[in-house]
Amino acid sequence: MARRVLTGGIAQESHSFNPIVTLRERFTIVEGPAAVELNRGANSTFGGVIDAACEGDVDLVVPTLFRAQSGGPVQDRVFEEVSEIMVDAAKRGDFDAVVLPLHGGMLTESLEDPEGVLVERLRAIVGRAVPITAAFDLHAHVKESTLEPLDFLAGYLTNPHEDQSATAKRAFQAAMGILDGTFTPVLAATFLPMLTLGNDTTLSGPLVDIHAYAREAVRQSRVYDVSIFNCQQFLDVDGMGQTVLAYGNGEIDEAQKVANEIMRMIWNHRDDLVEKYPNLDDELRKVRESESSIIIGDQGDRVAAGGPGDSTYVLNHLLANCFEVETYIPICDPDAVEICSRAGAGNRIALNFGGKYSTVSPSVVVEGKVSGVGENAPVVYDGPSDGGTKTYIAKYAVFEIGSIKVLLTNQPYAYIDPDYFRAVGLDPEHAKIIVTRSGYHFQLNFAKIGRVVTADTPGMTSYDIDQFAWRHARPFYPLDRIEFEPRQYVRLRR
């Protein structure tokens, strides 16, 4: 009889200082066999669970999966809805393991570690005999309460992220190994209150060597698995910082050594992991001097990092400097979308938009042409980051200011894939300048379109982190002088 695995849950990355609560309407919700068919082969954590199950002839039970782009903390009632659905499914039983495709960086209005709460509720139902594993984003906030109810946790090993599916497969295979008796997870975890700020990709810089060390430890069978979590930079929660997990297969000593050695490497490179991004003026000057196109990550308002997506900083800069090249800029403004929709495509109107939450640059007041309106425009990520993922743009309008085309939406999106623009009739191949609401991941997916760069712009998601009124996370490096005194957590056999 085929094994059965319970999967699903809720995935979102939160920004403590974004005042816009993430409501139910922001989530894409799937369930049951239709969810499996929709996400088969996708380079996402859910896609990885599906593909691993197919490869192992394992049946999946999907009570629900809520997924949203980054934003403010999730409304409590949304988390409770998902939790109740998953707990009810757990009570029905008839499965051998639980594998959860989550994010790890989510907050709710009242919870600092909702993923840990969800897993703990499931653990209370299934007991210790049923393995529970999970896959998290590399930027997750992981603490002891997250780890205690889990048998195994896998984190992405790449930034920009291109191993989402592979990460979920590690979690799935760990669950199968526990069931088969070939994997007895013991965990050594170490935590340090420190942030990485800018020089923290796995394509260059200190993390290249750090991850190479971790891979070698696994290759040499010193440990079963290693995950390095560079916590995202906008979570004002207790215990926020770097986390290293090293799992042994029944043996803890080497796992402890590896976890501590990696954390020491991170600490030794603490200043190297801080870097300023290129200047916007310099990058735009290159546009005037070159025939090639540029895709700009607006560092100060990255929806991928939880920003509101309504910054007008880059747009106002282009208008002030009279750039007359084909340009696409996305801005979230539900009121402006409604005004454009009422006016209708083809009509010229005066419009006031943007800058309601991102206050570093004023709203734009300008006359232009509504060239398109619509809703539920389907988007399919070409990848490699999240390749195959299917989503949609809810309500939108395209507003033209000369050669600048502003994509107005009623919800914020990160635009990590060119298909967001194709979905509304804008061909990325025709633009000289494209602005995205991402800092890292868009670079993988837009590399075939033109030169990609993240520009140093002000705003809620810039790495000027002393702009925030921190209440819980401090002290942490680099805002505070701290000693190298990592917290330790060890879990032996259950």
Q: Are 418 and 445 in contact (CB under 8 A)?
A: yes
Residue 10 domain flag = yes
Residue 392 domain flag = yes
Note whether 255 and 299 are same-domain residues.
no
Helices (H) and strands (E) in the chain, counts: 13, 20
Provide the domain limits for residue 435.
280-455
Q: How far apart are CA 329 and CA 297, in angstroms?
A: 11
Note whether 261 and 291 are same-domain residues.
no
Q: Are 454 and 203 in contact (CB under 8 A)?
A: no
Q: Are 451 and 287 in contact (CB under 8 A)?
A: no
Q: How far apart are CA 244 and CA 24, in angstroms?
A: 32
The pair phi, psi for residue 142, each rounded to 5°, is -115, 130
Helix (H) / strand (E) element for 125: namely helix 114-126
| Strand-pair category, 28-30 with 65-67 | antiparallel
Residue 387 domain flag = yes
Residue 251 domain flag = yes
Average pLDDT of each block of 10 consecutive residues along the chain (494 residues)? 95 98 97 96 97 97 97 98 98 97 98 98 97 98 98 97 97 98 98 97 96 98 98 97 98 98 98 95 89 94 97 97 95 98 98 97 98 97 92 97 98 97 97 96 95 96 97 97 97 82
Note whether 251 and 285 are same-domain residues.
no
Residue 472 domain flag = no
Q: Are 65 and 29 in contact (CB under 8 A)?
A: yes
Residue 464 domain flag = no
Q: What is the pLDDT of residues 153-204, one digit of tens each?
A: 999 999 999 999 999 999 999 999 999 999 999 999 999 999 999 999 999 9
Q: Are 58 and 175 in contact (CB under 8 A)?
A: no
Residue 292 exposure: Cα atoms within 13 Å on the Cβ side: 12
Domain count, the chain: 2
Note whether 258 and 287 are same-domain residues.
no
Note whether 25 and 129 are same-domain residues.
yes
Closest CA to 67 of 118, 30, 105, 21: 30
Note whether 244 and 363 are same-domain residues.
no
Q: Name every residue whose Cβ is closer than 8 Å to that of residue 121 and which is 6 or more positions away in sequence.
A: 83, 86, 87
Computed over every residue of the chain, the mean pLDDT equals 97
Q: Are 259 and 192 in contact (CB under 8 A)?
A: no
pTM comes to 0.95
DSSP 287-313: HHH-SS-EEEEEGGG-GGGT--S---H
The pLDDT value given to residue 89: 98
Note whether 64 and 89 are same-domain residues.
yes
Q: Are 46 and 39 in contact (CB under 8 A)?
A: yes
Q: How far apart are CA 396 and CA 418, in angstroms?
A: 16
Q: How many CB atoms lie within 10 A of CB 278?
A: 14
Task: Give 177-183's long-range contacts (Cβ < 8 A, gap of 24+).
Answer: 178/97, 178/131, 178/133, 178/151, 178/152, 179/3, 179/96, 179/97, 179/131, 183/224, 183/249
Note whether 107 and 35 are same-domain residues.
yes
Note whether 263 and 388 are same-domain residues.
no
Residue 468 domain flag = no
Note whether 63 and 123 are same-domain residues.
yes
Give whole-number Cα distances, 137 to 49, 104, 130, 161, in Å: 15, 6, 24, 8
Q: How many CB atoms lie within 10 A of CB 197?
A: 18
Note whether 245 and 123 are same-domain residues.
yes
Residue 314 domain flag = yes
Q: How far apart are CA 248 and CA 186, in angstroms?
A: 5
Q: How far apart are CA 353 and CA 132, in angstroms?
A: 46
Q: Are 168 and 52 in contact (CB under 8 A)?
A: yes
Note whether 269 and 313 are same-domain residues.
no
DSSP 48-83: HHHHHHHHTT-EEE-S-EEE--SBSPBPHHHHHHHH
Q: What is the pLDDT of residues 437-477, one digit of tens each?
A: 999 999 999 999 999 999 999 999 999 999 999 999 999 99
